[in-house]
Structure 1
Amino acid sequence: MFDLRYHIASLVAVFLSLGLGIIVGVTMVGDETLVKEQKILIDRLENDFRLLREKNLAVQKEIEEYKRTIGWLNGFAESAVPLLIKECLTDQRLAIIETGGYGVSPNLLTKLEEAGAEVVSVTSISSGLGAKGKELARVINGLSDSISEIDCYSFLAEEIGKMLFLSEKSTLQLELEKAGLIKTAGRYGDTFDAAIIVGGAKDENSVLVREFDLPLMKLVREKGVLTVGVEPSGAAYSYVSHYRNYADIVIDHIDTIPGQVALIWSLTGIPGYYGLKPGAQALLPALEDQFLTLP
């Protein structure tokens, strides 16, 4: 969109210049023809300014119409989603691990519960962990063999992968929580059907996809658990190109209603990459056959 303030400032500058020119022209030349030509130019510029203002008002009106339309569509989607996901994930248990600083949306948790799933645990990695290597290495080395700062992230991934399957907290887990490097909620040690890794990094210091996310995905898959990689559509640093080689399901717009529906539908047994970015198979899984069998 054009910058209206810039154009107004330019027109004002032109008017001032023309006004000064008229004064100088009349004083020095006294030529009525010059004055008439300048008046014609001023009238033309005034008309251009009027048209510019009208165009800006029209654009603003169009934007407001788009906003209203989006609001109606979102309202419709929110009303329709419970019917689209009802009982899709009955009796499924899920573990969620958040790695990139975007957090786990309460709306996502609500949608999973509405679909019948049980989120047994939520594990969050400290935002900006990439800049906390020394602190992480210090905590780890205080309880185990010497681990370099470079290797501490993959070591943490392995420990969290183990932690998901253990009911009792290890000493290392307690120390990591105490240091604020991880947060945990829910029940650990319970069996679960899928592990959802919520990635995509908010800032450069949170980018640990190779050092943390991928080793964690590999470990979970080796345990025979369905592995899911998701990120918000506006992730500053996208992980999907990496996730596609390690996860059974990839969703690149988990912050949207379609993304949450895509996750739930794909968990019914339709693995793949769904989303908005290049390489995605589709926005949503094809669910026609499954709809016919849902209760």
Structure 2
Amino acid sequence: MFDIRYHALSLAAVLIALVVGLLLGVAIGDANLVSSAEKGVSSSLRKDITAAQRANTKLRRQLAVRRRYEDQIYPTLVSGQLPRRRIGLVFLGASSDRLVALVRAALVETGADLRQVVVVREPPDLNGLSSAAAGTSYGQLARNPGLVRTLGQRVGSELVRGVRRARGRLLDRVKNVLFSSSDGSLDRLDAMVVVRDHPPLPSAGRGLSDQLDAGLLEGLTSTNVPVVGGELTSTNPSQVPWYRQQNLDSVDDLDDISGRLALVFALAGAHGAYGQKQTAEALLPRGANGLR
């Protein structure tokens, strides 16, 4: 019995040795295959990277040429589109120096001038507005917040008509409280750009700001001058749906030259939602060359 077990164990040991030997051989062979495959893959990747770098360089050159072309053709496209037009810019909420610069850049060579930039304070200071409007019906704002929308309507209308022509000159009385900042003269305007960017607010403050904004837009549009809502391609959430609710034309890509071109056409009287986002109807107005 012992001898049989001994032979069985010996045979098992031999078989195990054979299996281990086979595995080692395969591993060594595989290592050589893997090494060869790695070299092939590495060589292929190097070629792909070189080709991609060349393509990238070519695309950068093409993009630079396109930008130079756009910069050179833009003044020709907008030249004289807005002769002697006085343009205003109103921020509902947070302001942006970049957007001010982009609007100014859009107006270059058009014949128009950015005459006024105001930033509406949000939420509105009802106590301060009541004091500033003392002696008028809006002196009751602190006790009757429902008046904030009609105040917005009145101020929106006066922003376009100018304080000199405005009846009662309410804007002249409340501007230092209503606006967190104001640059330029409050004279008559021929068109207005609106940018809405609300800061986080408690629900009560949000409701007052929404009512004020709606009233301002109603006042602006009641004057029958072009009023255009604008934003950047990076604006999130987009304000285009809100502009549409207020019956405003809009441009969603003022940081792109096509957006600045669309802004000029919209200020000249084109109607629509222009830009690159899903809410846009077109990149540019149809028949833009006929707007002059």
Q: Establish whether TM, by shorter chain, passes 0.5.
A: yes
How far does residue 244 in structure 1 lie from its aligned partner after superposition? 1.8
CA distance in 1 between counterparts of 2:212 and 2:51 reads 50
Deviations along 1:53-105, one digit per CA (max 9) or x if unpaired, are: 43344334433332322221111111011111111110222211123546233
1:161 is the counterpart of 2:159: no
Kept after mapping to 1: 8 A contact 2:106/2:263: no
One of 170, 173, 176 as aligned partner of 1:174: 176
Q: 1:197 to 1:39 in 2, by over 3 A?
A: same
Kept after mapping to 1: 8 A contact 2:78/2:264: yes
1:98 is the counterpart of 2:91: yes
Letter in 2 for 1:193: D
How far does residue 161 in structure 1 lie from its aligned partner after superposition? 2.1
Kept after mapping to 2: 8 A contact 1:97/1:124: yes
Letter in 2 for 1:174: N
Kept after mapping to 2: 8 A contact 1:203/1:236: no
Q: 1:275 to 1:119 in 2, by over 3 A?
A: same
Q: 1:287 to 1:54 in 2, by over 3 A?
A: same
Q: 1:166 to 1:277 in 2, by over 3 A?
A: same
CA distance in 2 between counterparts of 1:70 and 1:50 reads 30
Q: 1:282 to 1:162 in 2, by over 3 A?
A: closer
Question: Residue in 1 aligned with 2:277?
Answer: 277
Q: 1:202 to 1:221 in 2, by over 3 A?
A: closer
CA distance in 2 between counterparts of 1:213 and 1:58 reads 53
How far does residue 256 in structure 1 lie from its aligned partner after superposition? 1.3
Letter in 1 for 2:190: D
Kept after mapping to 2: 8 A contact 1:93/1:118: yes
Question: Residue in 2 aligned with 1:250?
Answer: 250
Q: 1:230 to 1:46 in 2, by over 3 A?
A: same
CA distance in 2 between counterparts of 1:136 and 1:56 reads 59
Kept after mapping to 1: 8 A contact 2:88/2:116: yes
Question: Residue in 2 aligned with 1:47?
Answer: 40
Letter in 2 for 1:66: L
CA distance in 2 between counterparts of 1:239 and 1:153 reads 22
Kept after mapping to 1: 8 A contact 2:153/2:220: no
Q: 1:262 to 1:49 in 2, by over 3 A?
A: same
Kept after mapping to 2: 8 A contact 1:233/1:255: yes
Question: Residue in 2 aligned with 1:66?
Answer: 59
1:263 is the counterpart of 2:263: yes
Question: Residue in 2 aligned with 1:121?
Answer: 116
Deviations along 1:180-211, one digit per CA (max 9) or x if unpaired, are: xx2111110x2222121023x38756x99845
Output aligned runs, 1:104-143, within 5 Å: 104-125=99-120, 129=122, 133=123, 136-137=125-126, 139-140=128-129, 143=132
Kept after mapping to 2: 8 A contact 1:232/1:255: yes
Deviations along 1:7-35, one digit per CA (max 9) or x if unpaired, are: xxxxxxxxxxxxxxxxxxxxx85934421
CA distance in 1 between counterparts of 2:200 and 2:55 reads 37
CA distance in 1 between counterparts of 2:190 and 2:141 reads 34
Kept after mapping to 2: 8 A contact 1:137/1:152: no
Larger Rg: 2
Letter in 1 for 2:67: N
How far does residue 289 in structure 1 lie from its aligned partner after superposition? 6.0
Partner secondary structure for residue 84 of structure 1? helix
Question: Residue in 2 aligned with 1:187?
Answer: 185
CA distance in 2 between counterparts of 1:170 and 1:107 reads 28
Kept after mapping to 2: 8 A contact 1:95/1:121: yes
Letter in 2 for 1:268: A
Q: Indicate the RMSD between aligned Cα atoms, in angstroms.
A: 3.5
Partner secondary structure for residue 88 of structure 2? strand
Aligned residues: 253
Q: 1:221 to 1:119 in 2, by over 3 A?
A: same
Query: Which aligned segments of 4 or more residues in structure 1 are displaced greater than 6 angstroms?
Result: 150-153
Question: Residue in 2 aligned with 1:77?
Answer: 70
Letter in 1 for 2:33: I
CA distance in 2 between counterparts of 1:268 and 1:237 reads 27
CA distance in 2 between counterparts of 1:194 and 1:50 reads 61
Could you tell me which runs of 5 or more consecutive residues in structure 2 were left unpaired when the two chains were aligned.
1-19, 133-138
Partner secondary structure for residue 99 of structure 1? strand
Letter in 2 for 1:41: V
Partner secondary structure for residue 245 of structure 2? coil
Question: Residue in 2 aligned with 1:5?
Answer: none
CA distance in 2 between counterparts of 1:279 and 1:65 reads 33
CA distance in 2 between counterparts of 1:156 and 1:270 reads 29
